[in-house]
């Protein structure tokens, strides 16, 4: 089971991974953890990957069904739920999270002196921030990682910003900056509001977005 989205939301603390029970191997960490009397999970963490594989305790054979998307049922779902709970426990114990979304809203309201408004009747979470022309330069929204092309149903806060069309290919790293969700990808980008995001760069991109919108 792939949990790479956690690498895009929080910062791993390697000493805490060791304290939790992970073993350091070359360029990755590995942990074997019991799920119940019949199954255990083997968790592998590296800079590019965070995954869990399930094995049968008695035979040490991999239990492939948890990775088959079309496989459903109370038993399989219970195993997946145990793995998800374990990975979230590891993330909470060994990763650092910063509330970048709140920091970003503070930046918009206090430094740019702009309040968000909610133009969609059926959506009271997505806020737009407008320049003096009343055209919006930032859209703060909650989407799913799968909307950014990743294999995860987990939600994430993000912001759509206008960017220099010539710079976008170099800006997009698919870690914190992505091709725009639900916008023209030639002129807009999506930046996730998570711990891995360079906040100073985010502020500069926001100022640039406001300027591009005001002068368009």
Other C-beta atoms closer than 10 Å to the C-beta of 172 total: 17
Model confidence band, residue 76 (pLDDT cutoffs 50, 70, 90)? very high
Model confidence band, residue 74 (pLDDT cutoffs 50, 70, 90)? very high
Q: Is the pLDDT of residue 123 over 80?
A: no
Residue 216 has a pLDDT of 84
Residue 8 has a pLDDT of 85
Q: Is the pLDDT of residue 28 over 90?
A: yes
- Residue 123 CA: distances (Å) to CA of 34, 126, 140, 193, 194: 41, 6, 12, 19, 22
Q: How far apart are CA 89 and CA 87, in angstroms?
A: 5
Residues in Cβ contact with 96 at an 8 Å cutoff, skipping those fewer than 6 apart: 10, 11, 13, 195
Residue 47 has a pLDDT of 86
Give a three-class secondary structure readout of the chain. CECHHHHHCCEECHHHHHHHCCEEECCEEEEEEECCCCEEEEEEECCCCEEEEEEECCCCCECHHHHCCCCCCHHHHHHHHHHHHHHHHHHHHHEECCCHHHHHHHHHHHHCCCCCECCCCCCCCCEEEECCCCCEEEEEEEEEHHHHCCCCCCEEEEEEEECCCCCHHHHCCCCCEEECCCCCCCCEEEEECCCCCCHHHHHHHHHHHHHHHHCC
Work out the percent of the chain whose per-residue pLDDT is above 90. 81
Model confidence band, residue 203 (pLDDT cutoffs 50, 70, 90)? very high
> Among 8, 3, 49, which residue's Cα sits nearest to residue 196?
8
Residue 48 has a pLDDT of 86
The mean pLDDT of the chain is 93
pLDDT in tens, 144-197: 999 998 888 889 999 999 999 999 999 999 999 999 998 999 999 999 999 999
Half-sphere exposure of 90 (CA within 13 A, CB side): 30
Residue 150 has a pLDDT of 87
Residue 61 has a pLDDT of 96
Residue 146 has a pLDDT of 92
pLDDT in tens, 43-68: 999 988 999 999 999 999 999 999 99
End-to-end Cα distance, the chain? 45
Residue 151 has a pLDDT of 80
Q: Is the pLDDT of residue 6 over 90?
A: no
Residue 94 has a pLDDT of 95
Confirm if 96 and 13 have CB atoms less than 8 A apart.
Answer: yes
């Amino acid at each position: 089971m792939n949990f790479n989205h956690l690498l895009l939301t929080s910062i791993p603390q390697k000493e805490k991974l060791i304290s939790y029970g992970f073993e350091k191997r070359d360029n990755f960490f590995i942990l074997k953890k019991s799920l119940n009397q019949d199954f255990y999970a083997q968790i592998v963490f590296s800079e590019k990957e965070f995954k869990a594989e399930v094995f049968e305790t008695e035979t040490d054979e991999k239990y492939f069904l948890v990775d088959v998307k079309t496989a459903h049922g109370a038993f399989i779902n219970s195993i997946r739920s145990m793995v998800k709970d374990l990975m979230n426990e590891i993330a909470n114990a060994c990763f650092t999270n910063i509330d970048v979304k709140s920091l970003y809203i503070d930046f918009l309201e206090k430094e740019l002196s702009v309040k968000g408004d909610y133009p969609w009747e059926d959506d009271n979470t997505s806020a737009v921030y407008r320049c003096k022309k009343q055209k919006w330069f930032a859209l703060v929204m909650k989407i799913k990682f799968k909307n950014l092309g990743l294999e995860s149903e987990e939600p994430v806060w993000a912001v759509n910003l206008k960017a220099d069309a010539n710079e976008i290919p170099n800006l997009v790293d698919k870690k914190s900056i992505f091709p725009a969700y639900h916008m023209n990808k030639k002129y807009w980008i999506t930046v996730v509001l998570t711990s891995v995001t360079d906040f100073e760069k985010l502020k500069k991109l926001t100022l640039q977005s406001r300027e591009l919108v005001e002068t368009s």
